[in-house]
Structure formats: C-alpha cells, structure tokens
C-alpha cells in the first residue's frame, strides 16, 4: 500500500526546487552572498558591473574582463529609434505594464534572436541588462513630458541611468549610492520573479520571454511594490510631521491590523543585510541634500515596529527614501528594481539552460471526491 502524500506546502515554503551556484541565503544568520561573496563586501568594494560578471560567471572579473564588459554594456545601452517610438506610443499608465511590453519588444531588435548557442545567449544577457535601464529611464522621461536622454559612454551603469532619467550628470556620491542599490537588488535566490524566469527558460523559451515573465511576476504588490508603498506612506504622514504624529499613525495602523510596508521577510529572521546599507545611504543622502526628515521618520517607524512587533526592516523600507533623494519618482521604484534584478534573472536563466530539465511540479489534489457520477445535461 502506498503511503499518502505529505500535505502540500503553501507557497512552496521551504521546498528546494533546484540547485544553484549563484546566490546563498541564510535567513537565520542574515547572510546574503553572490557566488560565495558576502553582500557587505560587495556593497563596500564592488561595482554593479563587477557583480554582473560575478553572477554570470560565478567569479569576479579581472581588470581586462571588467573593461570588456563595461564596453559591451556601453555599446548596447542606446535604444534603436523604433523602440523609442514605441515608448512614446504606449498610453499613460502603470510603468510596469510598459516595462513588460518593452522588455518583450527588445527581442525584435536583438541581433542574436533565434540563436540558442551559449555565446549568443550570454551576449543577449549583457544586452538586456544594458537596455532595461535605458528603457525605464526613457519611459520615465516620456511619462513626465520630457525627451529621452542619450547615454554617455564614459559613465558607468548606475551613473548613466541617473543621467538618462534626470537629464543631469549625477554627483559621484549619488552615482555610488545608486551603484550600491543596484548591487543589493541584483539577486535573491529563487524569489518569485526569478523562479518565474527559470520556469520559462526551462521550456527552452528565449531569454526575452524569461525576463518578461520575471517582469510580470515582479509587478505583483507582494513582490516588487513594497518600496513604493513605503514612500507613499511617508508622504501621507507628511515630511513636516513630528515624531508624535509618526508614531500615532503607525500604532493606529497596527491596531487596525493594516500592514506596514517594508517590514518582515519570507527568508530572514534577523535584519535584512541589504537594509543595513540602504539605511546608511538614506541618512548620508539626506544630510547632503539638507532633507533628513524622510530618514528620521523612517528611523522612528522602525523603532515602533521593533517595539510593538519585534520585526525588522527589509530591503524595501530604506530604499524608498534613498530612491526619492536620488530623484527617482515613486512610480518608477518597481521598474528600477528590475533594472538591477535583470542581472540575476539572466544569470539564473543561463544556469538553467546549462543544465536544463523542464520544471514540472505536482499538485496535491483536494477537489471533489473521485470518481464523480456524470449526469447528462438533461438531468442537471
């Protein structure tokens, strides 16, 4: 007699779906590492371009390899005119809807489309990483009634994005802050969007389809929208609010069992290691801009949450004020997440291709008892 199947785990929590050499998580100890490199070391010392190489090749680049990658990204960053026309033609609306469409449209202008060789797929991964930032910046400009800005080949990935979005060459401090933000968001093991991308790639669909699937999953508010919700909450409280009002609003939310965005995590039982860096960046950018209130309000909210719920801030909480101080509008917060995470998505897709097996889990059936008696239409 066959033993009954164990009950399904809701949301696949704790289920190991694959093996991967890209990202290591230890939620109990608050450890996040890319290919064995601790996120704190990478945030302190690396650039986003170095991290891209690390995710794709599972090792840091040599100086020559980094220069080659920087050149490849620079050469792919400019968008073809038909893509810019599409950006202008899309109706106003949700920026993630636009990004999903544009990520798919990029496939039509990829010279390696249809080539399934590892070399072509890698070139597409580099190209997509370069272009997704350009797409988001162009959409942000057009949505604000402004013209897209051409990339500057002398600037790195982070600085180029800020230039193409704001129209102004960023300061070294702003560029480095955004560079760190891109590093922190680049990968996070089998999160929902990465898993969606891997499932798509496992059918041997193309990379653009896998990335579009990732964008679609990221759009969901349970995955990619928390930092926008954090900033909207701060704005509703008001930048001029005193600490008493901040505490009153948060305690009222808790009393009404309203979720306070930016707190808690499915994996971490300690502080999200990414929040450590974003907290510091929020403070430093605020001090330089003479606008420390968003940071101070965030610290007060964090104190209340620890006191009342013993819960820690996650990556989204301080990224909200950090992005705002960098001049990024709230409606672009989730697309900016994709500007970074595309490096991780493509790394996982390439890894899936290299050792592929169709991802096809089973479901525990809990529907009507089998067998049911079929009643003809006339008798129903």
Closest of 88, 205, 82, 206 to residue 141, by C-alpha: 88
Tokens representing 265 are 């995590």
- The single residue of 188, 208, 265, 277 carrying the catalytic annotation is 265
CB atoms near residue 101 (< 10 Å):
16
**334 contacts 96 by C-beta, under 8 angstroms:** yes
* C-alpha to C-alpha distances, 175 to 168, 187, 371, nearest whole angstrom: 11, 20, 63
Q: From CA 254, how far away is CA 246, in angstroms rounded?
A: 13
Predicted local confidence at residue 333, as pLDDT: 96
Predicted pLDDT of residue 13:
76
Phi, psi of 176 (to 5 degrees): -70, -40
Evaluate whether 134 touches 78 at the Cβ level (below 8 Å). Answer: yes
Count the residues in the chain: 380
Contact 202, 359 (CB under 8 A): yes
Domain locations in the chain as residue ranges: 36-221+340-354, 226-325
Report in angstroms the alpha-carbon separations of 209 from 107, 203, 216, 322. 8, 11, 10, 31
For the question of residue 240 being annotated catalytic, the response is no
Q: Give the list of residues 6+ apart from residue 70 with CB closer than 8 angstroms, or none.
A: 49, 156
Domain 36-221+340-354 and domain 226-325 have a common topology: no
- Per-residue pLDDT tens digits of the chain, which is 380 residues long: 444 445 557 777 778 889 999 999 998 898 999 999 999 999 999 999 999 999 999 999 999 999 999 999 999 999 999 999 999 999 989 999 999 999 999 999 999 999 999 999 999 999 999 999 999 999 999 999 999 999 999 999 999 999 999 999 999 999 999 999 999 999 999 999 999 999 999 999 999 999 999 999 999 988 888 889 999 999 999 999 999 999 999 999 999 999 999 898 878 888 889 999 999 999 999 999 999 999 999 999 999 999 999 999 988 899 999 999 999 999 999 999 999 999 999 999 999 999 999 999 988 899 999 999 999 999 99
Superfamily of domain 226-325: Cytochrome P450-Terp, domain 2 (1.10.230.10)
The reported pLDDT for the residue numbered 119 is: 98
Check if 265 is active-site. Answer: yes
Q: Which residues pair with 313 in a beta bridge?
A: 263
The string over 61-89, giving b where at least 16 C-beta atoms fall within 10 Å of a residue's C-beta and e elsewhere, is beeeebeebbebbbebbbbeeebbebbee
Q: Helices 333-354 and 226-237 meet at what angle, rounded to 10? A: 170
Residue 259 CA from chain centroid, whole number:
21
Cα dihedral sign, 374-375-377-380: negative
CA dihedral 42, 43, 49, 54 (to 10 degrees): 20
Token digits of residue 207: 């990379």
**β-pair partners for 31:** 26
3-state secondary structure of 348: helix
Residue 191 token pair: 């999160």
- Cβ–Cβ under 8 Å, residues 324 and 317: no
Instruction: Single out the catalytic residue among 110, 187, 206, 316.
Output: 316
Q: How far is CA 140 from CA 51, 222, 227, 370, in A?
A: 25, 23, 17, 53
CA distance 80 to 152: 15
Q: Which segments of 265-332 does DSSP mark as H helices, in order?
A: 273-289, 293-309, 315-325
- Contact at 8 Å (CB) between 186 and 34? yes
State both tokens at 251.
Answer: 């305690």
| Angle, helix 172-185 to helix 48-57, in steps of 10 degrees | 20
- pLDDT value of position 8: 59
- What does the radius of gyration of the chain's CA atoms come to, in whole angstroms? 22
Return the number of other C-beta atoms located less than 10 Å from residue 301's C-beta.
25
| Helix H or strand E encompassing 228 | helix 226-237
CATH 1.10.580.10 matches 36-221+340-354: yes
């Amino acid at each position: 007699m066959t033993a009954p199947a164990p009950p399904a785990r809701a949301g696949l929590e704790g289920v190991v779906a694959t093996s991967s050499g890209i990202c290591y998580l230890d939620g109990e100890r608050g450890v996040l590492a890319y290919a064995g490199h601790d996120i704190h070391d990478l945030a302190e010392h690396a650039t986003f371009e170095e991290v891209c190489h690390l995710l794709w090749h599972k090792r840091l680049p040599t100086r020559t390899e980094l220069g080659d990658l920087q050149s490849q990204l620079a050469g792919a960053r400019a968008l073809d005119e038909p893509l810019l026309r599409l950006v202008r033609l899309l109706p106003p609306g949700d920026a993630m809807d636009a990004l999903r469409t544009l990520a798919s449209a990029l496939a039509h202008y990829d010279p390696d489309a249809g080539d399934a060789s590892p070399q072509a797929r890698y070139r597409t991964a580099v190209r997509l990483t370069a272009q997704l930032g350009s797409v988001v910046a162009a959409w942000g400009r057009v949505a604000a009634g402004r013209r897209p800005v051409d990339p500057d080949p002398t600037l790195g990935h982070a600085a180029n994005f800020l230039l193409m979005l704001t129209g102004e060459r960023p300061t070294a401090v702003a560029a480095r802050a955004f560079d760190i933000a891109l590093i922190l968001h680049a990968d996070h093991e089998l999160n929902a969007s990465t898993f969606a991308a891997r499932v798509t790639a496992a059918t041997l669909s193309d990379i653009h389809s896998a990335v579009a699937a990732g964008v679609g999953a990221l759009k969901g508010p349970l995955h990619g929208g928390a930092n926008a919700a954090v900033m909207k909450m701060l704005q509703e409280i008001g930048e001029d609010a005193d600490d008493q009002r901040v505490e009153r609003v948060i305690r009222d939310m808790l009393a009404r069992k309203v979720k306070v965005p930016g707190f808690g995590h499915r994996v971490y039982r300690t502080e999200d290691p990414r929040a450590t860096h974003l907290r510091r960046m929020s403070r430093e950018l605020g001090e330089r801009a003479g606008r420390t209130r968003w940071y101070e309000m965030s610290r007060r909210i964090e104190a209340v949450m620890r006191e009342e719920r013993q819960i820690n801030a996650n990556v989204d909480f301080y990224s909200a004020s950090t992005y705002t101080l960098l001049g990024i509008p709230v409606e672009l917060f989730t697309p900016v997440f994709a500007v970074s995470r595309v490096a991780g998505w493509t790394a996982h897709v390439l890894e899936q291709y290299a050792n592929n097996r169709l991802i096809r889990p089973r479901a525990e059936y809990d529907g009507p008892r089998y067998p049911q008696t079929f009643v003809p239409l006339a008798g129903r």
